[in-house]
Amino acid sequence: MKVLIAEDDPITLESLATCIEQEGYSTLRAADGRMALELWRSEKPDILCLDIMMPKIDGFELCRRVRAVDSELPILFLSAKNQEIDVVAGLDMGADDFIRKPFTRSEVLARIRAALRRRHGPTAKSFNLADLIIFPKSLIARRGEEVIDLTPREISLLHLLYQHRGLAVSRDAFLDACWGVDYFPDSRTLDQHIFVLRRKIEPDPSNPSLIETVRGIGYRHPLRDGPDFEGQSGGMTPENDAKPL
């Protein structure tokens, strides 16, 4: 497995690469965004770990360019820009995770392992949440003619809600299933991902109907009349999911 690290601080870059290599991964090191872009194109890494504030091309722009070509490659931001607006912006651009500096060796490795597991793990069939049809293989959802791009983690969040539709899913259950049992959560991580996801899929994000908040517990997809079942999507079948749209 190749991990591309883009970080303009040489001490952070060296220490991060060393600890990742000690876990058995190979690393590609980039001191700026342009170098990272060239390495991504030439070396085809399995995962990207990006700083945001870099010379030549910043992390947000680099993420945007990669996502325009590859919707599945895991992308993690590692940044001192840790205001909620920065986290939400990174997730909106298609990043899978956002790790705030300073971080520990164990935390970074746990997030890398979890991201790689999600990418290479089993893929679920298409499924419905009310009128929304989710296609995990294509990393999209559809509502009528509208096509919504989703990240692998957003697919995992929606599939967990689907599996427990009508029931409250605890915050710990989300973190274990969608980040991994060895994940070290920030108190706002799940809420930030749900906020971004609601903006993508809810007809009215200010009054969510697909992902309800269950105060003191977590979130729930409510059971209502409608096609909340697997593999039945108004003429679309799981086989269609493997075909380009």
Tokens of 213: 């908040």
Region 221-238: what's the mean pLDDT?
55
Of 73, 93, 120, the position where a domain reaches its end is: 120
Q: For residue range 4-21, what is the model confidence (pLDDT) as tens digits?
A: 999 999 999 999 999 999
Of 85, 120, 155, the position where a domain reaches its end is: 120
Q: For residue range 81-114, what is the model confidence (pLDDT) as tens digits?
A: 878 888 898 888 889 899 888 888 888 888 888 8
The better pLDDT of the pair 123, 146 is held by: 146
pLDDT reading at 225 higher than 60 = no
Where does the chain show beta strands of DSSP type E?
2-6, 26-30, 47-50, 75-79, 97-100, 127-129, 132-135, 140-143, 146-149, 169-170, 212-214, 218-220
22, 43: one domain: yes
81, 133: one domain: no
What pTM value is reported for the model? 0.67
Q: Which range scores top for mean pLDDT: 15-19, 119-123, 176-180? A: 15-19
**Do residues 209 and 203 lie in contact, with contact meaning Cβ atoms separated by under 8 Å?**
yes
- Please count the structural domains in the chain: 2
| Torsional sign, CA 15, 16, 19, 24 | negative
pLDDT of residue 223: 85
Domain range enclosing 39: 2-120
156, 227: one domain: yes
User: For the chain, how are helix, strand and coil distributed in percent, rounded to 5?
Assistant: 40, 20, 40
6, 97: one domain: yes
> For residue 73, what is the domain's CATH number?
3.40.50.2300
139, 186: one domain: yes
Read off φ and ψ for residue 139, nearest 5 degrees.
55, 45
Q: What is the DSSP letter of 163?
A: H
pLDDT of residue 6: 97
> For residue 161, what is the domain's CATH number?
1.10.10.10
pLDDT band at 184 (very low <50, low <70, confident <90, very high): low
179, 101: one domain: no
pLDDT reading at 224 higher than 60 = yes
Of 87, 105, 120, the position where a domain reaches its end is: 120
Task: Collapse the DSSP code of 109 into the 3-class scheme (helix H, G, I; strand E, B; otherwise coil) and give the result.
Answer: helix
104, 157: one domain: no
